[in-house]
Structure 1
Amino acid sequence: MASGCMRKGMWLELIGSDGNIAKATIERQNPLVIAIVLLEGTPVSRDFKCNRVIIWVNTLGKVTRVPVVG
């Protein structure tokens, strides 16, 4: 977790889970963030934000990377 960001900031346990379930879990565990489910390869802004978690999913909707704040 980056300096200045509060609460839980990494969800290793969500790898392989359904992206929408991961979104609900993240937003429940850290109400300071908005989780965004995106298909692998989707272009995104690379700026860091303490209130954002990108959830990368494959074409089956399964989480492919560890979701982290940023």
Structure 2
Amino acid sequence: MSSECKGKSSWPELVGKKGEIAAATIEKENPFVTAEIVLKGTIVTPDFRCDRVRVWVNEKGIVYEVPVIG
């Protein structure tokens, strides 16, 4: 799905980084998206959006899943 979206679509290199740093990096590398920091276990909508990247963080604020457009 992300092939229809503009710019970089995934950031595997951010796993293990702080959520705030990851969000800033994502928005810098792809100006077409907004990065949302989401705490592990939070319920979110399942809709796909080209302008959103969810940055999943654990209780320590560390990214534990590859951030992707969606």
| Fold conserved between structures, TM > 0.5 | yes
How far off its partner does 1:2 sit? 1.8
**What is the CA RMSD across the aligned residues, in angstroms?**
0.9
**So what's the TM-score if we normalise by structure 2?**
0.96
The structure in which a higher percent of residues are helix is 2
Distance 1:2 1:67 in 2: 12
Flag structure 2 segments of 5+ consecutive residues without an equivalent.
none
Distance 2:56 2:46 in 1: 14
How far off its partner does 1:3 sit? 3.1
Instruction: State the identity %.
Output: 53
Flag structure 1 segments of 5+ consecutive residues without an equivalent.
none
The equivalent residue for 1:4 is 4
1:54 partnered with 2:60: no
| Deviation beyond 6 Å, 4+ runs, structure 1 | none
The size of the alignment, in residue pairs, is 70
